[in-house]
């Protein structure tokens, strides 16, 4: 399966102030699978930046895409690219098993959905920064802000682990560029003012739906299953390192290819060759 081309729901603003939305993806190779395998169970924002810099071949005229550019992409754009990378690697259909959340049921539920069908809300307008005028009750000041990026996620990930409220406060402090004509910071903002700023951020930001509708065959009730895009992506694509290295050994032994050549292959290509080899070995055994 080849790579994919598409359009980001938000887009990357380059240092000259030009917006770029078109992108091209390349499939993961053994090198990326090795990276994911060695990362253990970590699904960090920094790991997302590394994977995207390796697998996003182009954003507008930016090619290759360095980690710094991947880091400065909007959060929703990064989520969108992870989903498209999954499509490029495994296809559009997703099959998963989960358990019915109703306490009196708990039956296993088989879920199938299309990545292409996941709702993506693109903003009506795009800008590097936005403004909102707070209500009279919130201070009536004009606030200038930008939208959160992968760099913000990386910086705040240690806080999310133990103090989510403090992480959100720090995120607002990073994203709010100016409060009122004096350009003061967010420290003096009331809870109402912060809520109005956050509501405006949500209004102008692109959004990826992160729930999937499911129905339990056991009790007949419907429910919304959360779709954690980071965990979904890394969970599916993280390979067993022992299996990966056995595949490399198998192909190197029979084809005499180098490790570098095999690790540069996509998973699909490696396993096609393994299927051919298995069929040929079976044929030779039957002939003998």
Q: For the segment 4-35, what is each residue's pLDDT rounded down to a tens digit? A: 899 999 999 999 999 999 999 988 888 888 88
pLDDT given for residue 232 in this prediction: 76
pLDDT exceeds cutoff 70 at 170:
yes
Among 43-57, 120-134, 138-152, 159-173, which is the least confidently predicted range?
Answer: 159-173
pLDDT exceeds cutoff 80 at 87:
yes
Q: Are residues 98 and 116 in the same domain?
A: yes
pLDDT exceeds cutoff 50 at 1:
no
Distance of CA 74 to the CA centre of its chain: 11
Q: Are residues 25 and 104 in the same domain?
A: yes
| 143-169 pLDDT per residue, tens | 999 999 999 999 998 887 788 888 888
156: its two tokens: 């705040």
pLDDT given for residue 148 in this prediction: 97
Q: Are residues 64 and 191 in the same domain?
A: no
Percent of the chain topping pLDDT 70? 95
Which residues have a Cβ under 8 Å from the Cβ of 36 and sit 6 or more positions away? 47, 51, 234, 237, 238, 239
Q: Are 137 and 108 within 8 A, CB to CB? A: no
| HSE (side-chain half, CA atoms, 13 Å) at 227 | 26
Distance of CA 238 to the CA centre of its chain: 14
Higher pLDDT, 234 or 125: 125
| 89-117 pLDDT per residue, tens | 888 898 888 899 989 999 999 988 899 99
pLDDT exceeds cutoff 90 at 229:
no
pLDDT given for residue 238 in this prediction: 62
Q: Are residues 113 and 229 in the same domain?
A: yes
CA distance 219 to 121: 33
Phi, psi of 116 (to 5 degrees): -60, -25
Q: Are residues 136 and 164 in the same domain?
A: yes
Distance of CA 245 to the CA centre of its chain: 26
Report strand pairing: 142-145 vs 130-133: antiparallel
pLDDT exceeds cutoff 70 at 240:
no
- The count of structural domains within the chain is 3
Average model confidence (pLDDT) across the chain: 89
Final residue belonging to a domain, choices 185, 205, 225: 205
59: its two tokens: 């954003």
Taking CA atoms, 12 is separated from 71, 135, 155, 187, 263, in Å, by 10, 31, 19, 29, 31
pLDDT given for residue 231 in this prediction: 75
Instruction: Note down the domain range covering 255.
Output: 241-287
pLDDT given for residue 17 in this prediction: 94
Phi, psi of 28 (to 5 degrees): -65, 145
pLDDT exceeds cutoff 60 at 69:
yes
- Residue range 180-196: mean pLDDT, rounded: 84
pLDDT given for residue 241 in this prediction: 76
Q: Are residues 14 and 99 in the same domain?
A: yes
Dihedral sign of CA atoms 264, 265, 266, 267 in order: negative
| 255-284 pLDDT per residue, tens | 999 999 999 998 888 989 999 988 888 888
Where residue 160 sits, what CATH number does that domain have?
A: 3.30.2220
Final residue belonging to a domain, choices 187, 205, 223: 205
Q: Are residues 107 and 230 in the same domain?
A: yes
Q: Are residues 144 and 162 in the same domain?
A: yes
Q: Are residues 161 and 257 in the same domain?
A: no
Q: Are residues 214 and 81 in the same domain?
A: yes
Q: Are residues 214 and 193 in the same domain?
A: no
Q: Are residues 232 and 103 in the same domain?
A: yes
């Amino acid at each position: 399966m080849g790579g994919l081309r598409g359009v980001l729901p938000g887009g990357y603003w380059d240092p000259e102030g030009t917006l770029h939305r078109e992108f091209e993806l390349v499939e993961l190779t053994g090198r990326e699978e090795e990276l994911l395998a060695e990362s253990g169970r970590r699904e960090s924002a920094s790991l997302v930046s590394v994977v995207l810099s390796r697998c996003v071949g182009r954003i507008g005229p930016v090619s290759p895409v360095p980690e710094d550019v991947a880091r400065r992409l909007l959060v929703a754009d990064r989520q969108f690219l992870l989903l498209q990378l999954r499509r490029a690697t495994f296809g559009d259909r997703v099959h998963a098993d989960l358990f019915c959340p109703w306490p009196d049921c708990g039956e296993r539920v088989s879920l199938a959905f299309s990545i292409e069908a996941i709702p993506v809300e693109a903003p009506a307008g795009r800008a590097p920064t936005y403004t909102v005028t707070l209500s009279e009750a919130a201070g009536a000041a004009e606030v200038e802000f930008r939208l959160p990026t992968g760099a913000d996620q990386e910086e705040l990930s240690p806080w999310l682990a133990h103090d989510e409220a403090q992480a959100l406060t720090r995120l607002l402090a990073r994203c709010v560029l100016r409060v009122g004509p004096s350009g003061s910071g967010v420290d003096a903002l009331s809870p109402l003012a912060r809520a109005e700023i956050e509501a405006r951020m949500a209004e102008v930001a692109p959004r990826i739906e992160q729930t999937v509708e499911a129905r339990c065959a056991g009790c007949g009730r419907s429910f919304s299953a959360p779709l954690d895009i980071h965990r979904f992506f890394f969970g599916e694509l993280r390979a067993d390192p022992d299996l990966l290295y056995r595949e490399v050994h198998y192909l190197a032994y029979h084809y005499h290819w180098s490790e570098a050549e095999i690790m540069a292959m996509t998973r699909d290509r490696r396993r096609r060759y393994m299927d051919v080899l298995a069929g040929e070995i079976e044929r030779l055994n039957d002939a003998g």
